């Protein structure tokens, strides 16, 4: 059974190792433009998401905000969902790695820093996380999750059509949700303090 992984990484640490391990398991790899370049440079076969959706790289809208990507992340694995993906000509995304820019270290609280923080707001990464949670996908946002997740994929026979447990997906969703909430709290903290000055 074909399985597809979407990789989006703000931080390249561990990315190549993750990609290699996923490919060894049998995943097809789709990656955002910069991530795809890193993986291709390491000799990996990877589909650049821009080439699939037919968009120019570095679109100011962000390739992961494209409706076809969203559908691939959220539609159910059933007759109706498969029909939607067939019509959009985009593979169902089963596994997501989204390493989102955390804004950690952006502690300076003045209006001059607003533009810098706004530039770092990782809308694409947060959208991927929330979409993967909504779609009940295998979602990974921290590299230290790799062993637990890959062990579950192997033991559940996921690559042969099996399913990982609902409780496992909920655990992953909880981790991803906390990661996103932490980032959103930093945004609120930064802008809230700046506006009060």
Q: What's the pLDDT at 50?
A: 80
How open is the CA angle 2-7-48, to the nearest 5 degrees?
80
Which CATH superfamily does the domain covering 3-196 fall into? Methylglyoxal synthase-like domain (3.40.50.1380)
pLDDT (tens digit, 9 = 90+) per residue, 94-140? 999 998 876 665 555 555 566 666 677 778 888 999 999 999 999 99
pLDDT (tens digit, 9 = 90+) per residue, 42-62? 999 999 888 777 755 445 455
Q: How many CB atoms lie within 10 A of CB 133?
A: 22
Judged on CB neighbours under 10 Å (0-12, 13-18, 19+), 100 is buried
């Amino acid at each position: 059974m074909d399985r597809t992984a979407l990789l989006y990484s703000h931080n390249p640490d561990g990315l190549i190792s993750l990609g290699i391990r996923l490919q060894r398991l049998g995943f097809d790899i789709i990656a955002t433009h910069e991530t795809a370049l890193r993986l291709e440079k390491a000799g990996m076969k990877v589909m650049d998401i821009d080439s699939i959706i037919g968009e120019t790289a570095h679109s100011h809208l962000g390739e992961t905000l494209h409706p076809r990507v969203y559908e691939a992340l959220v539609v159910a694995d059933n007759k109706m969902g498969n029909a939607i993906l067939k019509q959009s000509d985009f593979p169902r995304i089963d596994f997501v790695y989204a390493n989102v820019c955390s804004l950690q270290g952006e502690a300076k609280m003045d209006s001059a820093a607003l533009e810098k923080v706004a530039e770092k707001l990782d809308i694409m990464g947060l959208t991927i996380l929330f979409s993967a949670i909504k779609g009940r996908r295998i979602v990974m946002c921290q590299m230290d999750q790799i062993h637990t997740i890959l062990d579950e994929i192997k033991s559940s026979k996921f690559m042969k059509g099996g399913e990982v447990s609902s409780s496992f997906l909920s655990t992953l969703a909880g981790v991803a949700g906390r990661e996103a909430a932490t980032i959103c709290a930093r945004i609120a903290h930064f802008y809230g303090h700046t506006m009060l000055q």
